[in-house]
Amino acid sequence: MNFIDKLSAAWTRNDSLLCVGLDPDLARFPAELRDAPDGIVRFCKAIIDATADLACAFKPQIAYFAALGAEAQLEAICRYLRDTYPHIPLILDAKRGDIGATAHQYAREAFERYGADAVTVNPYMGFDSVEPYMEWADRGVIVLCRTSNAGGSDLQFLDVGGQPLYQHVARLVAEKWNRNGQCALVVGATFPEELAQVRAIVGDMPLLVPGIGAQGGDVAATVRSGRTVGGAGMMINSSRAIMYATPQEGEDFVAAARRVARETRDEINRYRA
């Protein structure tokens, strides 16, 4: 099953557009896991198990692992996801952007070393920086388009032939780059009007949407702007708000994460129809 088919099946199976991000921060771990040699694996597995029936995808952010020298633990987590939850897409958030042979090696890292179903990439260097990922025709290539950070406007709003650059990127990907039907776009929840404009350009292409939860994106505006006619088409990511949810009375971090994930999934679903 290719990435797009697996994602479509996960939307239906779990009745969910929620993507759970995995951004390990040892300072926010429970005390008993902070110094444990396998603490990152144990923590992330607990979050995964608590939310797997509520998510349409999981998205580990590679920088959080690499900064800790924990790539081996990331490999173990990815292997656990593939073995235990093979029906849920695994997205490696790497935002790679380089050309030629280097891009090919980054693709091997994502798809062979970590076994990801999809990877995020940066289009700034053009199509030959993205094309090597497409050699894995069953995997997803998720291209940065309109990012959730305020500084994204420095470049993404530059005029390109009478349209902002992010819309030019959306059209390029939808009309020229998506040769194998494997592409998706990153569009932030913090800009719902731009999200709606991208949806109008790309039709039913999947959108990875960061920016709710800790970044403050409005769930109702996000879903109404980015959903497809069928009420799907989105992977709405929440990372820190779920991973480091504040426990209520009688809860541990696992129960708190599940509660917040369920509340987020259900809130998203209220606006899908």
CB 116 within 8 A of CB 139: yes
Share of the chain above pLDDT 90, in %: 94
Contact 121, 141 (CB under 8 A): yes
Provide the number of structural domains found in the chain: 1
pLDDT digits (tens, 9 = 90+) for 110-149: 999 999 999 999 999 999 999 999 999 999 999 999 998 8
Domain that residue 207 falls in:
3-270
Question: Per 3-state DSSP, what percentage of the chain is helix, strand, and coil (rounded to 5)?
Answer: 50, 15, 35
- The H or E element spanning position 131 is none
pLDDT digits (tens, 9 = 90+) for 162-180: 999 999 999 999 999 999 9
Span 53-88, pLDDT tens digits: 999 999 999 999 999 999 999 999 999 999 999 999
Q: Active-site residue 95, yes or no?
A: yes
Task: Give the domain CATH number at 53.
Answer: 3.20.20.70
Helix and strand totals (H; E) in the chain: 12, 10
- Give the model confidence (pLDDT) of 183-234 as tens digits: 999 999 988 999 999 999 999 999 999 988 666 679 999 999 999 999 999 9
Residue type, 163: Q
Helix (H, G, I), strand (E, B) or coil at 185: strand
Q: Could you tell me if 137 and 115 are in contact, meaning their C-beta atoms sit under 8 angstroms apart?
A: no
φ, ψ for residue 160, nearest 5 deg: -130, 95
pLDDT value, residue 190: 86
Given 6, 45, 95, 176, which residue is catalytic? 95
Average pLDDT over residues 150-156: 92
pTM: 0.96
